[in-house]
Amino acid sequence: MTRTYSFLSKASTRGLAGNGAGRKAGMVVLGTVGLAMAGCADQSGPGAATGPQAPKAATSHKIGVLLPLTGPNAALGHELLAGAQLALAENGTSTAPGQASALQMDVHDTAAVGGASAAATAAAEAGDGIILGPLTAVDTAAAAPAAQSASMPVLAFTSDVGQARNGVWVMGITPEDQVERLVATARQEGRHRFAAFLPDNPLGHALGNGLLASCRDQGLMSPTIVYHTGSQASITQMMRELSSYDTRRAEAQPDGNASAPASTPAAPATGSTDTADKTLPSDLAAALKGGSDTSATASADSAAQTPAVPKLAPPPFDALLLGDTGLGLKNVIGALADSQVSSANVRIMGPGLWAAFATKLGALKGAWYAAPDPSSRQSFASRFMARNHHMPRPLADLSYDAAKVATTVARVAPNGYPADVLTRSEGFAGVDGPFTLLPDGRTRRALGVFEVLDNGVGAKLLVPATTKSAVSG
């Protein structure tokens, strides 16, 4: 049976909910509420309902939370619960017309018997007006039907935009959102011919779909997108095809008078210098040092016998979206050099995941990625730390934001959580910056654009997050 708890916003919740004692503080176990039987005199008679009733719009301000509180994801579930509890403690009093009461939080375990579907059904039966969660795309898909039948809005913590729909919002920072920000900024820079070189995996396809949609929405020509299989050979060959390497080389002046020769790039599999090692993720340093002195000498001899490649004309695109990390990114960087695709004439762009190792990306100096401004999170992190005695994981930002939406709407809407208030144009103030819920279930977040620097410095904020609209809440 799904376990259900009720939290008052002012209840003691010191410490992370994952701690056994801390989790029990302020909890009141809710009993199963039975319906009055038809035998009662005031409910009998010809006018009594005899069949299932049509679902009614949720009018309660009670906040349902669907998270894994047991099982392998329990620690993460309790972390998100702590984020939501913090928001409720800070903002959890309803001041809608005619109301002045503490908001209740009704928590259901999606890892219990029946999973997310049973948890959503239990939330509907408990009279919840909105659902925060679930955590994953799979759980969101399972919970959505019951929630929609009960007209309960869902603020899910997944970043899978495929789950977005009317009444179900994806709160995570999606690859599509990142790409939209990058394309808009590159277009302002004068870039109009976009391409993508992406891994053939879910992240790669999400980035590719985002590029297609962004170019379409911004009136740009359809981009060329190539998905590689991950092997070094396929990356090198497919990059050459994408960049029209053979055509560009054939068009180059054979005598080299028009342009200076370019040095032949070393093969990615051979040894490299310490300087090169510093420009790549730390877990790849060993791979870069894999070659012995003998193999390095052999590589140098081979390079000396290879004719110098003349400097080639720019490729048929002026902005290139990448999606690799780790070893795949190392091979892509080698393929860029091999095909003479450089920041001199192409704006390289990548996923927000690059922020985690920006100091290792010196070889991609000038590349962009879109991500929240870390400075926006400092206040939240300090308050979370004071309450839970550890720094919050990034996903706790989402649960705080979702709970902040619920408390903000509850203060202005007399009944339930109306879609027109949830999608208000001014949006909401989030941990990582302002955001707006769109009618189709997507969440538009204000992301900054960062530019990679060299020499292990990391990245600088090039374009601040958009804050044109007056954001309140």
* Residue-wise DSSP of 311-328: PPPPPS-SEEEE---HHH
The first and second tokens of residue 239, run together, are 């990059």
194 φ, ψ (degrees, to nearest 5) = -105, 150
134 cis-preceded (ω within 30 degrees of 0): yes
**281, 357 Cβ separation under 8 angstroms:** yes
153 φ, ψ (degrees, to nearest 5) = -60, 150
* Angle of the 378-388 helix axis to the 74-91 helix axis, nearest 10: 100
Between the CA of residue 106 and those of 318, 338, 460, what are the distances in Å? 51, 57, 42
Same fold, 63-92+102-173+374-441 and 175-249+311-371: yes
Domain 63-92+102-173+374-441 has CATH 3.40.50.2300: yes
**41-81 pLDDT tens trace:** 333 333 333 343 434 456 789 999 999 999 999 999 999 99
Residue 379 sits at the vertex; the CA angle it makes with 378 and 384, to the nearest 5 degrees, is 100
Cα of first residue to Cα of last residue in the chain, in angstroms, is 36
CATH class of 175-249+311-371: alpha beta
**109, 119 Cβ separation under 8 angstroms:** yes
pLDDT score of 442 more than 80? yes
- 281 vs 180, residue with greater confidence: 180
pLDDT score of 354 more than 70? yes
Please state the rounded mean pLDDT for residues 312-325: 97
349 by DSSP, 3-state: which? Answer: strand
The first and second tokens of residue 253, run together, are 């002046």
The radius of gyration of the chain's CA atoms, rounded to the nearest angstrom, is: 27
Output the pTM of the full model: 0.72
**169, 293 Cβ separation under 8 angstroms:** no
pLDDT score of 37 more than 50? no
For 156, half-sphere exposure in the C-beta direction (CA atoms, 13 angstrom radius) is 31
pLDDT score of 22 more than 60? no
* Residue-wise DSSP of 74-133: HHHHHHHHHHHHHHHHHH-EE-STT--EEPEEEEEETTSTTHHHHHHHHHHHTT-SEEE-
**208-234 pLDDT tens trace:** 999 999 999 999 999 999 999 989 999
What confidence tier does 102 reach under pLDDT thresholds 50, 70, 90?
A: confident
Q: What is the pLDDT of residue 217?
A: 94
82 φ, ψ (degrees, to nearest 5) = -65, -35
Please state the rounded mean pLDDT for residues 276-298: 41
pLDDT score of 176 more than 60? yes
Please state the rounded mean pLDDT for residues 230-257: 87
CA–CA dist 339, 276 (Å, integer): 18
Please state the rounded mean pLDDT for residues 149-170: 96
The first and second tokens of residue 420, run together, are 């027109």
Average pLDDT, the chain: 80
- 223 vs 253, residue with greater confidence: 223
Q: What is the pLDDT of residue 300?
A: 44
Q: What is the pLDDT of residue 58?
A: 65
pLDDT score of 31 more than 80? no
Q: What is the pLDDT of residue 383?
A: 97
CA–CA dist 293, 362 (Å, integer): 25
310 φ, ψ (degrees, to nearest 5) = -65, 160
Q: What is the pLDDT of residue 391?
A: 96
- 42 vs 251, residue with greater confidence: 251
CA–CA dist 57, 351 (Å, integer): 39
Q: What is the pLDDT of residue 268?
A: 41
Q: Where are the domains of the chain?
A: 63-92+102-173+374-441, 175-249+311-371
Q: What is the pLDDT of residue 246?
A: 94
Burial of 309 (0-12, 13-18, 19+ CB in 10 A): middle
